[in-house]
Amino acid sequence: MKWLLDFKIKIADETTNARIGELITPHGKVNTPMFVPVATKATVKTLTTQELLDMGAEILIVNAFHLHLHPGTEIIKELGGLHKFMNWNRPLITDNGGFQATNSYLFHKIDETGIYFRSPHDGQIHQINPEEAIRYQNNLGADIIMALDECPAYTENYEYVKQSLDRTLSWAVESKKIHQNTNQVMFGIIQGGIFKDLRQRSVEAMRELDFAGYGLGGISVGEPDNLIYEITRYTANLLPKDKMRYLMGVGSPQIIFEAVEAGIDLFDSVFPTRSGRHGTVFSELGPINIKNAKYRQDSDPIDSNCTCFTCKNYSRAYLTHLIKHQEMLGMRLAALHNVHFILNLVRNIREAIEEGRFLEYKREVLSKYGKIL
């Protein structure tokens, strides 16, 4: 099958599995490795799409589950599709909603046919299954959609994770049969928890289905950092080198470096925006808790070398004042800075790979971050 998206590796690092690639989609090019800001409900919290473009974002991920709940994917389709609805004429991914539906706040039950959840809007029980998940995403019209999966908690035992993987693999087969929209490509999601034999089984089955790319799911769901890195490296190494590798749900500087070193091309997370809204901002000298009293009279920007709107116009003292008083502007300025910082970090990583100094740059940055985040 000829995919609508084209992915090619342009440079491979000589000492690690890091690589520079280029993804071509119907809505433009994405340079990889790339951080994917999370626009859960068709918005990256507090930021406009123009601001995201200005800071170098090239692709966003939106959650089809939430848009199904409100305003409804049929409505968005009638309004011209997701790109037009959110004013983003660049590449888009939609997630299937499996992770959200298993949230303890929403979860009702799960079986082989799908996931049952309680709507937070009216309390009614609904089901998300492969057919519904694909229909929602077809309605939205993103460039890349995800096959339905179940994401088990880190604390689940081997037998449960094995059963969960059986469901995910069965749903992947169904999703492939159901998806008929030739304007979109589908990624399969690799599951299997922290169990390497299950991860291997998942990769082998997903490769047989020949998806356009592969998401690594069920990572950074409560496990310690060393396991995150180990499972990411192990799983990425099993995936085909000529297909996209997408690590879902990670976004701290530490994990980004480990992911890139393992050969990951895309990674998404709410971490930068959420951290900013709660008062943690990133700098080249390490993370800063902007609510700390020592910044109350600090006239410096968050990061003197940062070129984002926040750093060019406002002081740490002003951010401290706004965040301490829970002013929306403070949360917005902090989130804007953090997303800009991560996007700039990934640009620098691509440059370091190109110049053959990736590990040197990794050591330089992480010496200032340690295990704080």
As annotated, the active-site residues are 95, 268
Pairing of strands 6-12, 19-25: antiparallel
> For the chain, how far is it from start to end, CA to CA, in angstroms?
42
DSSP state for residue 221 in the 8-state scheme: S
123: left (phi over 0), alpha (psi -120 to 50) or beta: left
Query: Which element (helix H / strand E) includes 302?
Result: none
Q: Rounded to whole angstroms, how far apart are CA atoms 190 and 86?
A: 29
Q: Which of 236, 248, 171, 231 is nearest to 203 (CA)?
A: 236
Tokens of 339: 């997303």
Q: Mapping DSSP to helix (H, G, I), strand (E, B) and coil, where does residue 120 land?
A: coil
Neighbours of 35 (CB within 10 A): 26
The distance of Cα 359 from the centroid of its chain, to the nearest Å, equals 23
Q: Rounded to whole angstroms, how far apart are CA atoms 340 and 55?
A: 6
Instruction: Collect all residues with Cβ–Cβ distance below 8 Å to 130 and sequence separation of at least 6.
Output: 114, 147, 148, 171, 174, 175, 178
- Residue type present at position 205: A
The distance of Cα 252 from the centroid of its chain, to the nearest Å, equals 11
The DSSP annotation for 165-185 comes to HHHHHHHHHHHHHH---TT-E
Strand partners of residue 267: 35, 247
